[in-house]
Structure 1
Amino acid sequence: MMVTFISQCEKKALNRTRRVLDAFANRIGDNTWQTMITEEGLIAVKTLLRKTATKNTAVSCHWIRSRSRSELVWIVGNRKRFNAEGVVPVNSTKKDFSHREWEKGWHTTEIITIASAIAGLFHDLGKANDLFQEKLNQCAKGKNTKRFEPYRHEWVSLRIFQAFVSERSDQEWLKQLADVDEDLENHVIQKIIIDKPDSDKFNNPFATLPAFARLVAWLVVSHHRLPVYPKLGETEPGLDYIDTWLNQAFDDSWNSVNSRNHEWEEQILKANWTFSYRTPLASKTWQKRAGELSRRALVCQGLMEVDWFSQPFVMHLSRLALMLADHHYSAKDAQTRWQDSNYQAFANTDEKRQPKQKLDEHNVGVSQHAFEFSLKLRRLREELPSLNDSKTLAKGPAEDKEPWQAKAYQAMQQIQNQAKEQGFFGINMASTGRGKTLANARIMYGLADESEGCRFSVALGLRTLTLQTGDALQERLKLDKTDIATLIGSQAILQLNQINQGKQTENDLFAMRGSESLELGLDDDGFDVIYNTEFYEGQLEKWFANNRKAKKLLHAPTLVSTIDHLTPATEGVRGGRQIIPMLRLLTSDLVLDEPDEFDLNDLPALARLVNWAGMLGAKVLLSTATMPPALAYALFEAYQEGRKAFNTATSQAITKKSVVCAWFDEFSVQVSEQENIQSFIKAHDEFIQKRIAKLNQDNSIFRKAKLLEIAATTDLPPLNTMSVVIRQGMVALHQGHYQQHTSGKKVSIGLIRIANINPLVAIAKLLYANPAPENFRIYYCVYHSQYPLAQRAFIESKLDQALNRKDPETIWNCPEIQQAVSLYPEQNQLFVVLATSVAEVGRDHDYDWAIAEPSSMRSIIQIAGRIQRHRKQVPETENFYILAKNYKALKGKEIAYEKPGFESKHRKLRSHDLDEILNNQQYTVPRATPSIFCPPLNKESRKPPYQNLVILEHMAYREILLGDNEQQNNARIWWKNQVSWCAAIQRSQPFRASSPDQAYCLYFEDEDDEIVWKIKNDKVNPVEYETVTDIVNIDITLANGNQPWFDFDVQVQYGYLAEQLEKPLRYISYCFGEIRLPDYENQMNEWYYSPMLGVFKEI
């Protein structure tokens, strides 16, 4: 194609742009280039320009389509230099806007600015106490000072602020702020309430402070971490009194737990409340800054008229600005302009442990930066790049076979303005395999204001899905690497992914043109964010100059990550962890992929994230084919309450309180405005009824299921019984569902899903040891999470290759299947994957048949989705067998369908036989219906013991999300009560609560060495490894006709990686041989390892 490039760059960007374009095109004018170029070459040009783009960059590309017509292809950089067709303006007009006009884009910007700035003045005053100053002095002398103060400096700061306000109104203390002198400082010190661990009386600062002072006081005490009641064996404050916690239950232990944990000497306690260096109130620079803020506060409208604890947007944006300012300024060198030469207390030390910033300077500096940051938060999104001019997003890929996606995109374009003003909450429930991932991107693009562009984050539940989703979006949407960032667990995962896909481990665009001199020589710190931009300007560069990872996460128009990187916005008790995810939510919309796949106990935290997204102005889209009604209801209510807070804080004239909602599937798009949870429930249920009716009209049934009867016997242990029934099922399923080779041999690939790793391995060993039937050869692959990293990646790459069956004939190209058909005489070649729940979601695999040990109805539906996933061939007989009982039920456990599953001590089933707790229509044709539709409930069916497995699952969701069956500790607590000021709810409803684990690595450094296990000690620097015998290497018995599917030789895998990466085996062992195993207390039985089975325990 013939293209023309036009540059409107300025300053340094002009030369950077010329260097890139001169390498690809002929310069035909000072700032104009033209050339013939391929599509791949044009992508390379855009990528290079984006990689070095700054606010002064502006380049347009025009495709010469004919002698009379050209077409704008893209613009890199400042779009305001061109119009929508890429035309450069020849003249301009200006309109005079005062600075305050854009400051008040949110009408509470001024409140946030003043609150964070005043809190910055007071936030570290408590460091002036003698105990803290002595700690800094001892640190400077090189002495070990790893001791804690009884009362943290934030608590002492809070008491100083309380003493300053005293009994004054907001008007009075703000006025006094302009008139601070030494006499007032002496008066304040005299009025400080001194806390003592053994005191019976406690003065709660929040009980008496006026409204705005309460906000400032909370900012001061929470600027490092949110208050939380200490776990000291005492009864925590009851949820019945949750709204009184702040005024009645709150005390010093919520911040300074050490005050109650130790026997403190009187001398130490006294030093904690003595101020020999005076406080910064005595500093002239502090006093000057206080006067400036006082005058601004006194003329601020509405500052003294609102209970700011009822406005979480103001609370948490103020806290965000304060935390960001504290982190930013603490990293800077001392600034003498904010120091009073007569004031000698210090705030912190430098890298050499020498005193760095004076305490008055530090408080003034943080105040000034919090002031500036608050003003700029509103405009941060405008500075960041966005997706614009994407023809693929607008029109869909050329190979698109899903017309429903275009309808969804067009419907969203029509509601752009309403969604921007009122918020947007959507649910994409299209069936598995109908392109939800691509549709989600097009939906968000359709919703985006054209003047702002599209920015969104895709939050996933599984780490293994991030690369897969990022690659799929980039490839299908034709995005370059400067449009999308993918956050991965480590560089090791990225390298394994590239090697297993046959990609180069490094792609150098400069070298593609033989012009390595174009490379700017920027270093790569090895962060685990794949994003191909190195130049940042504006606020990101100022705020995070030394944090490359933060800049990548915030800069990228599209971010694909696990949800763990966004949940700290609400779950991060320590302030630093909240900054990045909050800024990401503030500057982009949110797509939650498969939200129903999270553990039941994680859902309240998920609801808090959705609530926060609404509060920060983001649009939210949920994407799952199996959305439980209770989860949809709860997440909508969470979003709506968050959006209300956003509207209240940012729009002075709210015309509509309703949220724009949309439901999508492959049949239709339903759009409506919902004002409350009751109207939303009605609309959602109507959509579900229509969807179920459409699904039932589809006569193309690709999965048919039946129950396999199984019962405990005295002759065989439960695992042996299961292995016998499973083996009989495998043979029967193979005979009904196979592909026939031209040689006449029959090949099938089946999945056997077992709930937990140790029973899975035990069954695999029994199957390996049992000879295959006559004229059968069976190839087994055991697949679960407890393999060293390199081995799991190897297994997944092999399965990805074998189970991609979009073209049914590609199965014969799989090397292992080719070998089986050609080398072995047996007519029946059976390939079997024995897996845990890792096979249920995330892998785009197509099996011929499956056998499942049941855990939940959700699990059954997910496994069914792996059968005929690509080929869509209607079976004549059942291709899915479900064991009527699981391992725990066969053992006679009181609670069988748990971990994984929904049964618990408080939610029991009347039976553990699926024949008794499932109706035929719920499983014989496995569809999403049991998940998305809750059967009618009455008083009896809502209570345990439950008569039906499906009802049990729906009630489990309703209890933890909506508070049914008097479940007090439910998700709604977060938005129904004012609790975001503390971290008590996050602690009682933790996200991904995990047990301690220990890292090991499978190690050898020479081809002739024996493989050993080493334990990793990552608590020291550098990391240390020590050989251990905690994991025993074993061999397993292979009976006639059975063999492993792949070559599991670890030494071969390590050797291949060493060759590809040109690294020694020692490096490969440490980087790719790692595995993390649960570190149980008092564990007696050993871990065992086999390359064919992974790491497990005997049962």
Structure 2
Amino acid sequence: MAQHASQIARFLPRFEQHLPRLGKHRRLKQRAQHERFRWQDKSAEAAASMRERSREHGAFIVNMASTCCGKTLANARIMYALAEPSQCMRCAFALGLRTLTLQTGKAFSDLLGLGDDDLAIRVGGSASRVLFEHHEAQAEATGSASRQALLDEDTHVLCEGQTDQHPLLRRALADPNVRKLLVAPLLVCTIDHLTPATESQRGGRQIAPMLRLMSGDLVLDEPDDFDLADLPALTRLVHWAGLLGARVLLSSATLPPALVQGLFEAYRSGRQHFQRNRTARPGGAERPPGICCAWVDELHQQVHDCPETASFQQIHEQFAQRRHEALARLAAEPRRRAAILPVQGLQGIRQVPLLAEAFAPQVLSAAVSLHRAHHSVDTYTHKRVSFGLVRMANIEPLFEVALELFQLIPPDGLRVHLCVYHSRHPLLVRSAIEAQLDQALQRHEPDAVFSLPDIRQRLNASPETDHLFIVLGSPVTEVGRDHDYDWAVVEPSSMRSLIQLAGRVRRHRPGPVASPNILVFSHNLRHFSRQPGQAAFCKPGFETDGDAFHLASHDLRQLMSAEEIAVIDARPRIVSPASAALRPRERLVDLEHARMRHEMLPQQRVAATKPLGSRARAAAARAVPEPTLNASTWWQQAPEDALLTALLPQRQPFRKEPDRRDITLALLPDEDGENALLHQVMEGERRGESLYVEVNRSQCEHLPEAVIQGDRIEPWGVTDYMGALSALASELDLPLSICAERFGTTTVRPNDSGWRYHPALGFARKRS
């Protein structure tokens, strides 16, 4: 034990010098060929200018470039420019969604010509990656995608390191999971692979992510997409990145100022500890590090050293204000315009099925009106075609609205193709839906969609002159997919979700529009289904039932200004009024800024006095309120209060389980392989063992085909689960039952009454 401890103490500070690195990469060094991406060159130059100083003081970089400006490659180029040429690059790119992680990993593989030795892609579920790669291979086989790298694979140098000669690494890398996370110079992973670095509740789980942070830099992609409850864990990760010597980049076009400031303060606090212990003069003067900070977007780049929070805050506000002004100029000729659509006839209705019955006709009417104004013409059939998104806040109401839509009759001469997209489909069905949408909604070449076999067959098979392809989707449609819709109808939840969703409308096609192509309902369904006075813009959203963060009205016409409604973009989110000027009960965006401040920034603390008597001391202790726990508690409190225990990770865990944990269901074939039977996946006695327990058949209602057989409205997507399962099993060369166990699963909320299911609709709670 003493010998091992001695080796760790001796070799840990320099172990990163023995790990592989990525160097002399031509694509990461070469200048952009297209004017649109020249900002990447300037951003990389800005990073290179602070390379030397960042070795001593650390670096905190904010990339707020707009979507579709090459932000993913820009982040890699920035971190490559920041790395020492002699030591080469090591960096982890952490994301919140599996699909986005897989897409980013594929982008690096294709754009940079990286192989498995250079690039590790780690997502939570191996089944997701298998299906992703399967559909990619199918797309390549049909000619709709190309796997050819843009560069030859020998256009870079892999500095292999000497892991076998390092006592610590030799021992650590014997574990294959540690090796996968640690060895590759570039790591693209879901963030849950790194958050255990600060959560030492179970022995050993923190070691691999901690070593990764100690041996390379960190990029956080879309950190503002995380739930408010996950911000403490995100803050702990950034604090430890600073404490362990990493440099950090935040990447999102919609970063709110309180989130950026809170993460900077956490990083600065961690870097101070690093300065005291790991720099050339450890234990020296207590002078705070002058963190090397950079702000970049497609328009501006600037670099400043920020030893204090106040200087960082001031410069960030100036940068965000410049971006706000630039976005305002673009808003003069917007590619997206929005309008509020008043909800009618729902007052007094509480039950979700009845709400859906009254709501669905309004959805269809809005979709038809948007189609009339925003469509493309198929040059072969001369039919008018549009692809639209109907975004709903929650899956259960979405399921009911889908049932109602299939029973409606569209106007004469018009056919609706309806895709129901949310997270409660079996994995293989959801993956097939996403692959279908990935092909149809790539609109860089607007008319290419008419060459897709599925779209062509649907247009040729019916006489209607107008075709609406509608995606009825949950919030999963807002992030993680590079989709371009002609128009959108929105049930609102928050300003953040409106901005994210607006980015999916005409995403790939420039040019202004003259009339609204986004219609936002004035109220959401939760407003009608809950009791008067209860929060409605929640789950998802920022509203609570308490006084401080409870909206006085749920009518968007009162919560948003005319300017915010007319052109929905990132301006309200990236610039915040002063704290005293916020009106969180009266303005939707102010509610979000106020909650973000409350969750991220240090709370005002009451100065404690020291009375002489014991009774006076006790009275004073009772009089001083306990500080509110938030994300800043981790780094703001004294180390003995926070860092040396697992108390805060226990109180503020990453992705906290609900009181009733979600359960996993699987649709497995019967003995004849003809029908699917519902099973619940249970943990076995042995580690990693799964048991499949058949659910009582009375608890699984397989909906008949009649529910999706409407008049000129038909499903767009998978309608036969067993057929899709059999095809996948054949393509992957797997037994049917094994394929179902791996890819026929989904996660649902517990429900004593059971569930309803149809392949075109997914799972929903069974009505009691």
Partner of 1:975: 635
Name the residue aligned to 1:488. 123
Q: Is the 8 A contact 2:602 2:636 kept in 1?
A: no
1:811-830 to 2 correspondences below 5 Å? 811-830=449-468
Partner of residue 316, structure 2: 684
Cα offset, 1:1032, TM superposition:
2.2
Aligned to 1:660: 292
Q: Is the 8 A contact 1:753 1:852 kept in 2?
A: yes
Per-residue deviation at 1:576?
Answer: 0.9
Q: Which residue of 1 aligns with 2:617?
A: none
Partner of 2:236: 608
Q: Match of 1:1033?
A: 702
> Where do residues 812-961 of structure 1 align in structure 2 (5 Å cutoff)?
812-893=450-531, 894-906=534-546, 907-938=549-580, 941=582, 946-961=585-600
Q: Partner of 1:805: helix, strand, or coil?
A: coil
C-alpha contact (below 8 Å) 1:1005/1:1065 kept by paired residues: no
Shift of 1:401: 4.0
Give the counterpart of 2:649 among 967, 976, 986: 986
Match of 2:690 among 1005, 1023, 1027: 1023
Residue 695 of structure 1 and its aligned partner are, at CA, apart by: 1.4
- Secondary structure of the corresponding residue to residue 425 of structure 2: coil
CA contact (8 A) 1:816 1:1045 kept: no
Q: CA deviation at 1:721?
A: 2.7
Q: Check conservation: 1:1006, 1:1065, Cα contact below 8 A.
A: no
SS of residue matched to 1:617: coil
CA distance in 2, matches of 1:993, 1:646: 30
Q: Deviations over 1:79-116 (max 9, x none)?
A: xxxxxxxxxxxxxxxxxxxxxxxxxxxxxxxxxxxxxx
Q: Secondary structure at the match of 1:537?
A: helix
Across the aligned residues of Structure 1 and Structure 2, the Cα RMSD in angstroms comes to: 2.2
**Alpha-carbon distance between aligned partners in 2 of 1:919 and 1:938, rounded to the nearest angstrom:** 19
Q: Retained in 2: the 8 A contact 1:712–1:890?
A: no
CA distance in structure 1 between the partners assigned to 2:604 and 2:394 by the alignment: 30
Note if contact 1:712-1:718 (Cα within 8 Å) is conserved in structure 2: no
Q: Distance in 1 between matches of 2:355 and 2:694?
A: 36
What is the TM-score with the length of structure 1 in the denominator?
A: 0.62
Between the two proteins, what is the percent identity of the paired residues? 39
Q: Structure 2: how far apart are the matches of 1:792 and 1:645? A: 46
Please, which of 107, 112, 120 is the counterpart of residue 472 of structure 1? Answer: 107
Alpha-carbon deviations, 1:1010-1036, whole Å to 9, x = none? Answer: 211122222234532222134321122
Cα distance in 2, alignment partners of residues 535 and 767 from structure 1 = 62
Partner SS state of residue 938, structure 1? helix
Cα distance in 2 for partners of 1:545, 1:844 equals 36
CA contact (8 A) 2:346 2:359 kept: no
Point out where structure 1 has 5 or more consecutive residues left out of the alignment. Answer: 1-365, 506-530
Residue matched to 1:455:
90
Name the stretch that deviates more: 694-703 or 379-388. Answer: 694-703
- In the superposition, relative to structure 1, how do residues 641 and 713 fare at CA in structure 2: closer, same or farther (>3 Å)? closer
Work out the CA distance in 1 between the residues paired with 2:692 and 2:47.
55
Aligned-residue offset at 1:1002 = 0.8
Partner of 1:807: 445
Query: SS of the counterpart of 1:430?
Result: coil
Structure 1 residues 844-873: Cα deviation after superposition (integer angstroms, max 9, x where no partner) = 000000011000000000000000000123
In the alignment, the residues of structure 1 paired with residue 447 and residue 419 of structure 2 have an alpha-carbon distance, to the nearest angstrom, of 22
Tell me whether 1:705 sits opposite 2:338 in the alignment.
yes
Partner of 2:251: 623
Per the TM alignment, residue 414 of structure 1 is displaced from its structure 2 partner at its CA by 1.5
1:681-830 paired onto structure 2 within 5 Å: 681-698=313-330, 699-713=332-346, 717-742=354-379, 743-830=381-468
Q: Say if 1:947 and 1:419 are closer, same or farther in 2 by CA, change over 3 A.
A: same
Instruction: State how far apart, in whole Å, the 2-side matches of 1:957 and 1:731 are.
Output: 38
Letter in structure 2 aligned against 1:414: S
**1:963 touches 1:969 (CA, 8 Å); kept in 2?**
no
Is 2:44 the partner of 1:409? yes
Q: Which is further off, 886-895 or 746-755?
A: 886-895
Distance 2:225 2:674 in 1: 43
Unaligned 5+ residue runs, structure 2? 141-157, 606-626
Match of 2:616 in 1: none
1:672 paired with 2:304, answer: yes
Superposed displacement of residue 1098, structure 1: 4.8
Q: Match of 2:752?
A: 1084
Structure 1 counterpart of 2:675, from 1010, 1024, 1028:
1010
Q: Which residue of structure 1 aligns with residue 151 of structure 2?
A: none
Out of 635, 639, 643, the position equivalent to 2:271 is: 643
Provide the C-alpha distance between the structure 1 equivalents of 2:200 and 2:709, rounded to a whole number of angstroms: 50
Assess, with a 3 A threshold, how the Cα gap between structure 1 residues 880 and 1007 changes in structure 2: closer, same or farther: farther
SS in structure 1 of the partner of residue 238 of structure 2:
helix
Deviations 1:939-997 (A, max 9, x none): 6x45x6x1111110100000111145887112221111121011122222221101312
1:260 match: none
- SS in structure 1 at match of 2:580: coil
Deviation at 1:483, TM superposition (A): 1.0
1:400–1:394 Cα change, 3 Å: farther
Residue-by-residue CA offset, 1:819-860 (whole Å, 9 max, x unaligned): 121111101000000111111001000000001100000000
Give the match's secondary structure for 2:467: strand
C-alpha distance in 2 between matches for 1:1010 and 1:1057: 16
How far apart in 2 are the matches of 1:950 and 1:401? 31
Q: 2:723 aligns with which of 1023, 1041, 1052?
A: 1052
Tell me, yes or no, if the aligned pair for 1:571 and 1:991 is still in contact at 8 Å: no
Q: Distance in 2 between matches of 1:867 and 1:992?
A: 30
1:277 is matched with: none
Counterpart-to-counterpart distance in 2, 1:421 and 1:535: 25
1:501 is paired with a residue whose SS is helix
CA contact (8 A) 2:708 2:714 kept: no
The DSSP-based 3-state class of the residue aligned with 1:379 is helix
Q: Secondary structure at the match of 2:410?
A: coil
* In structure 2, C-alpha distance between the alignment counterparts of 1:780 and 1:707, rounded to whole Å: 23
Partner of 1:806: helix, strand, or coil?
coil
1:726 aligned partner, one-letter code: V
SS in 1 for 2:137: coil
Residue 664 of structure 1 and its aligned partner are, at CA, apart by 0.6
Cα distance in 2 between the residues matched to 1:896 and 1:1023: 38
AA aligned to 2:746 is I
Match of 1:634 in 2: 262
How far apart are residue 473 of structure 1 and its match? 1.3
* Alpha-carbon shift at residue 464 of structure 1 (Å): 1.8
Aligned length: 702
- The reply to whether residue 391 of structure 1 matches residue 26 of structure 2 is yes
Matched position secondary structure for 1:792:
helix
Describe the SS at the equivalent of 1:502.
helix
Equivalent residues in 2 for 1:122-271 (5 A)? none
TM-aligned CA distance change 1:820 to 1:1009, over 3 Å: closer
Query: Which letter maps to 2:342?
Result: E
Alpha-carbon separation, structure 2, partners of 1:409 and 1:534:
26
Q: State the secondary structure of the residue aligned to 2:205.
A: helix
Per-residue displacement from partner, 1:910-932 (whole Å, max 9, x unpaired)? 10000011111112101101111
The answer (yes or no) to whether the contact 2:718–2:759 under 8 Å persists in 1 is no
Which whole-Å CA distance do the structure 1 matches of 2:112 and 2:403 have between them? 45
Alignment partners' CA distance in 2, 1:1016 and 1:937 = 48
Cα distance change, pair 607–789 in 1 and its aligned pair in 2 (3 A): same
Larger radius of gyration: 1
Q: Deviation at 1:489?
A: 2.8
Output the CA distance in 1 between the equivalents of 2:15 and 2:723.
Answer: 50
Would you say the 8 A contact 1:754–1:837 is kept in 2? yes
Letter in 2 for 1:481: D
Query: Which amino acid counterpart does residue 571 of structure 2 have in structure 1?
Result: T
